[in-house]
Every structure is written in C-alpha cells, then in structure tokens.
Amino acid sequence: MDSWLVVTLILGFWMAWNIGANDVANSMGAAVGAKAITPKQAAVIAGIMNFTGAYFFGKSVTETIRKGILHVNMIHDPWVIVYGSLAALLAASTWLIFATYNGLPVSTTHSIIGGVVGYGLVYAGTSIVSWGKLGQVVSSWILSPIFGAVMAFLIFKAIKSTILMRDDPLKSARHWAPVWIGLAFVVIGTMFYMKVVHGKNLLLGILYYGIPTGVAVLVLSYVLIRAHFVSNDPYIGVESIFKKVQVVTSAYVALAHGSNDVANAIGPVAAVYTVATMGMVGMKAPVARWILAMGGLGIAVGIFMYGYRVMETVGKRITELTNTRGFSIDFSAATVILIASWLGMPISTTHTVVGAVIGVGLARGIKAINKAVVYDIIISWFVTVPVAAAISAVIFKLLILVG
C-alpha cells in the first residue's frame, strides 16, 4: 500500500495546486480588477496567506470523508478508500484544470464531492450516497450567488448613498468611510472566530472578536483618513481610501480560504494515509501537520503559476470594478458566508463572490454585466458535480480492474 500512498500524496499536491490556480479568484479577483494590487502582488499575498491558513488553521479531520456525502459505514474494504480517494482526486483535478484553462471559477468543494459520489456509485450503487446532503450542495448553486448578489447590491447602493452621491463626497468619505470599514471588520473579526478558529457561538464571536476588531479599525481608519487624506478630486480620494482597505480584506479572505478549502485536497490524502498506517479505525484521526503543510504549499504554488486566468475573469470580465465596488464585494461575500456558517447552510465561496460581482454590476444597471461570461460560468457550476462524478467512476472502475 506504500506505493499507493506515494501516488495519493502526489495527486493531493496536484489537487492543492488546482485549488490555488482556480480558487485564488475568491480572494484576489476583485482587488486585481479594481487595480488595488497587481496580479503578481495578488499571487504573493494570496500564496502566503493561503499557506498560513492551511498550516496553522486547517481543519484537523479528514474533511471530505467526514462531510457525509457517502455512508462510509458501508465501506469495509480499505482498498475501496484508497482507490476511491485516488479516483476522486484525479477526477476533481482534471475538471479543475479544464475550468482554470478556460478561466471559469468553479467550486473546488463541489469538484471533490463529485469525485467522491462517482466512486461511491460504482462501488455500492445509489444507497451509499447521502442524497439529502448532496441536495444541500445542489441548493448552494442557487443560494450562494443570489445571496452574494443581493448583499453586494445593497452594500454598494448604501456606499453610493452615504458617500459617492453626496454633494461633497470628500467630506462624506471622512465621516462615513471609517464606519463602513469598521462594519466590514466586525464581520471579518467574527468570521475569523467561526471559519478559522472554528468557534460555534456566533454571539461570542461578535462580542469578543467582531466588535473589538471593528471598533479598533474604525478608530484607526478615522485617524489615518484625517491625517493622510489628500486629493483634489473627491472621487479619486474616496477610491484611494477603499483601495488600501481592499488589500487587507482580500488578504483575510485568502487566509480563511486556506484554512477551509485545503481540506478538499488533503481530505482524501489523509483518508489514504490513515488507512495505510492504522487501518479503517483511523478514518477520523487528526490530519498530520506535514500533510497540511503539503496542501498549503500546493495551493501557493498553484496561485503563483496559474492563478491569473480565473482572477482575470472574476476581476475584469464580468463587470468593471472600482475600489468601492471591490470593497462592497469583499464585505458582502464575507457577510453572506458568515451568516450561512451560523445557520449551517451549505454555501460556496466561489459562487458567493461571483454573485457579489454580479450584484455590484447590477447596481449600475443590467448593461454593466457581461452576460455571455456569466452564462458560461453558471453552466460550468451545474456540470461540476456530474462531470467530476463521471470521470471518478471511470477511474475507480479501472483501478479496481487493475488492482
């Protein structure tokens, strides 16, 4: 089994590479599109933050198996876990390479779930699949972008109302920008508690993480804006404020992304590793630190090498972005993901961010949206699970025959 473990480690790194290449757009696409940072700067920031999130805050369980997509109590042969994990990783990675090459932001979570479903169906038929859980995944295709779009639409409209549409945007920005920035960091602080530290009590997260963070950032923003806010053009001045904030919010999203989505790559790896070293009884054992590090490194390398393609789609091809629009996207995506986590709703970060980009575009009118690009993205979302499942099923069958 040792040779299969080595193969799984290689495929896990490849899957992590694909996560970096595709999902980096979740955190950095809006910032790049709004010209807050360059693609190279985005790659460096996202690479460092994703690795940090993966290594220090990565979930300590075999997440993909634990999600409950398959009834694992029906699997008694450890080789099924080995071959199934290999098939799922190969299938998800193959689909992600295709999506990334075409600049399509798809969900890496949905890709690996599709891979798991594919080998499960071949092994034990429809009875092994938790169709209720899979139904929740499907519902996130619809809920995530809608919630993201509505929230971003409302937040950007509110920023326009309080700052951009006022008679004196410069004066309004001095008063309102710290408030909006502070509110965003209330959400970010609370999200850190729930998504990175994996806390469960929303009220405690708001009181001990969210509000202190938000108040500190509000005061700091107010002081810095008063001291360094210089511009003859009020609109350029307003955008320059949010430009700096967007770098911080994007870096946070990258940290949270690494801490959560690394499980999509190392979950199957950890499953094979525990089966190879401890047998089936090790299925719920904590993930070894070196596996988390491998996943984080793979994500970082994928970002550096190929992340620019999807970043360009999210940041530039859907609608034109400014720094206030980019801030609205980050703020709304973080808010929606936080609320969904609290409610226990299945939600896709990728779909939420893309929905938020669309919502900001709609705030300027339907003509501001590149409908052809949005159509291609939506189609890619709906075929992710079935395509990954089909590829995984074929690979699993071949591995069983060869093995």
What is residue 29's predicted lDDT score, i.e. its pLDDT?
87
CA angle (154, 155, 157) in 5-degree steps: 65
Dihedral sign computed on CA atoms, order 137, 139, 142, 143:
negative
Query: φ and ψ at 70, to 5 degrees?
Result: -115, 150
What is residue 314's predicted lDDT score, i.e. its pLDDT?
87
What is residue 225's predicted lDDT score, i.e. its pLDDT?
84
Buried b (16+ CB within 10 A) or exposed e, 168-189: ebbebbbebbbebbbbbbbbbb
Distance CA 269, CA 13 (A): 9
Distance CA 224, CA 123 (A): 61
Q: Which residues of the chain have pLDDT under 70?
A: 1, 59-67, 229-231, 279-286, 344, 346
Token pair recorded at residue 386: 């079935």
What is residue 365's predicted lDDT score, i.e. its pLDDT?
87
What is residue 128's predicted lDDT score, i.e. its pLDDT?
93
Distance CA 190, CA 377 (A): 30
Angle between helices 349-362 and 371-402 (to 10 degrees): 170
Cβ-count burial of 351 within 10 angstroms (0-12 exposed, 13-18 middle, 19+ buried)? Answer: buried
The dihedral over CA atoms of 109, 110, 115, 117, expressed in degrees to the nearest 10, equals 120
